[in-house]
């Protein structure tokens, strides 16, 4: 049952409209507009930088199998967090913001 749930979650997240894929080659940005505030997510080496987050929320990162590999409470505004993830494909979720990334 757990595997079925993972596949359903992956299918939903990867097939949702408006989820562009990004790779980590230099400084890539994911820009999402949320009520006229632009939240930017940057991946730089082993750090994730979140700019202009409108409110405190939870950062969750899932691998492509749908397993949560990272979770952290984050504050509003601009913050930087160190990540220790292996190369591969991941899904980043912050509140209503969901994006796909590839770490290379």
In 9-94, at which residue ranges do the beta strands (DSSP E only) sit? 21-24, 28-34, 37-44, 47-53, 57-63, 68-74, 77-82, 88-94
Q: Which pLDDT value is given to residue 27?
A: 57
Q: Which pLDDT value is given to residue 28?
A: 56
Q: 66-85, pLDDT tens digit by residue?
A: 999 999 999 999 999 999 99
Q: Which pLDDT value is given to residue 102?
A: 87
Domains in the chain, ordered, with CATH? 2-103 (2.60.40.3080)
Residues 39/53, Cβ–Cβ less than 8 Å? yes
Residues of the chain with pLDDT under 70: 1-36
Q: Quote the mean pLDDT of the chain.
A: 77
Q: Using CA atoms, how far apart are residues 57 and 73, in angstroms rounded to an integer?
A: 6
């Amino acid at each position: 049952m757990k595997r079925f749930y993972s596949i359903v979650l992956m299918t939903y997240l990867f097939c949702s409209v408006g989820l562009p894929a990004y790779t980590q080659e230099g400084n890539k940005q994911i820009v999402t507009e949320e009520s006229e505030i632009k939240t930017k997510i940057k991946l730089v080496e082993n750090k994730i930088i979140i700019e202009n987050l409108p409110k405190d929320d939870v950062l969750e990162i899932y691998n492509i199998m749908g397993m949560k590999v990272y979770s952290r409470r984050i504050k509003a505004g601009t913050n930087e967090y160190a990540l220790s993830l292996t190369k591969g494909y991941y899904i980043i979720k912050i509140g209503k913001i969901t994006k796909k990334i590839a770490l290379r």
